[in-house]
Chain A
């Protein structure tokens, strides 16, 4: 366990004091399997409802960044999402998880992470 790692410190670009994510470019993975698509939809609905976002779940571009200038989520939203996945899927998010740059890069990446890690 360490203090905010470098990728987290980069997130301060948004003027937000909570260290969460990097905006490093990463390769976009290939198309997901059908069950991941269903999970994507489920997660999109949880996020829209849980965060009272001003859109419908199916209006979320699965490849758009979740944080900052994509979906426009801020650090409080990320904390909310952590609680949602904890309750729903039994996953515990950690700030020093090397995967975080991938996880929050898009809804699709997030859904893939949940699919891999879920215990519920």
Chain B
């Protein structure tokens, strides 16, 4: 069975991470991994909730070296956590927050006591753990139409293959020695691959911080040496431009999780003098294609990945994608390696980089006691906010409840970005004979409700 190294850094002193302007060596990392691995309980499943990216990486590595599987849901509402406990009854939570709010057995990340000097081995003793390619490294989750999160298994071999493919597409000569900073969480597929696995598998250095405000992004970049790579999303890139934020020199900017408008891509490249690579992928397939949005329309698939299209349904297979996997978007192949992206299939929504399905959200709303019928919809009037984010609305039939309490109940179930604005209460949802609510009926109802409650559509 093929085994792949945990990290590709070739010397104990190679820098594998930065935190608060200080470097962390590969030897220190491996010592931290050993120390944490010794503290892990016997469970097979570990939910890695560390918000510090270095600690997340140590947690991931400790999980891999002890044969455990990392559970990585995209959201951590009480409902999702309940579901995860039934999916993996022995799951425990690794967190760097002493007041972690998740209702799971907790293991608090503690800084390793091994002093730096002792972590650096004698010449020749740098021993990098080898992990079986077939080992189940993680489960990631998507929102299913049945209302339950759907697990997708990721093996170590496929994850490594994906990020090694990524390296071949980045317009950077050599990632070794690059500082890679992300504004995205390590727990989401994109962040997991591009801000954690990518540095570990390319000789680069990850950054522990996850900056949020534009000024914080600038400060975090300034604290690490060049060459610097910024791994971000359209929301944050637009925020940086809107805030007219100065950034230190960048070698590369990456964007994913939502469509990147070409004007935004060009503005970012011009302003920051760095190439901007947009990445296409999904939780199911991982990252799988990329393009230089400022310059090209077409996407280029990553090595070995191929598309099949039948009847407007697209699937990907090959390369790091182990079996034919349906895609949520409408793709038009232009040749064996390239495609054009035409947008989402009708049910799926993407808000600020988080993905869900209207069916899943509607199911959650209907499951609330007192709600007798309900439906989520995408607001047509997409008034672009400064960050370009549109929101969802919802209609509900709930004779004895008010909108505020329904939203309270929804907060327990779905990610806050999907909360409806507004939630309109109606007397009846006129479903047709097959139980569906046709689009034109939904629009008419919403328009009617808007007339009756004009404040809600301010």
Interface of A with B (CB < 8 Å)? Answer: 1-4, 6, 9-10, 12-20, 48, 50-56, 59, 69, 72, 74-76, 79-80, 82-84, 86-87, 92-96
Contact = CB atoms under 8 A, between A and B. Distances in A.
Contacts of B164: none
Nearest to B424: A54
Contacts, number: 139
B417 interface: yes
Top 5 nearest A-B pairs (CB, nearest first) are A54-B422, A15-B77, A74-B416, A13-B101, A9-B97
Given A3-B52, A76-B235, A79-B236, 6 more contacts: A3-B19, A3-B210, A15-B411, A19-B212, A86-B214, A94-B216
A69 B417 contact: no
A10 B455 contact: no
Interface string B78-95: 101000000000000000
Contacts of A72: 407, 419
B194 to A, nearest CB: 16
Given A12-B51, A13-B101, A51-B385, A82 B20 contact: no
Contact of A52 (B236, B408, B411, B421): B421
Given A12-B97, A79-B387, A3 B416 contact: no
Contacts of A6: 97-99
5 contacts: A12-B51, A15-B76, A19-B51, A54-B456, A56-B455
B223 interface: yes
A73 to B, nearest CB: 9
B67 interface: no
B212 A83 contact: no
Nearest to A10: B99
A82 B213 contact: yes
Given A52-B421, A92-B215, A3 B458 contact: no
Contact of B386 (A18, A53, A59, A80): A80
B243 interface: yes
A103 to B, nearest CB: 12
Contacts of A17: 75-76, 185, 187-188
Given A16-B415, A92-B213, A52 B187 contact: no
A15 B52 CA distance: 17
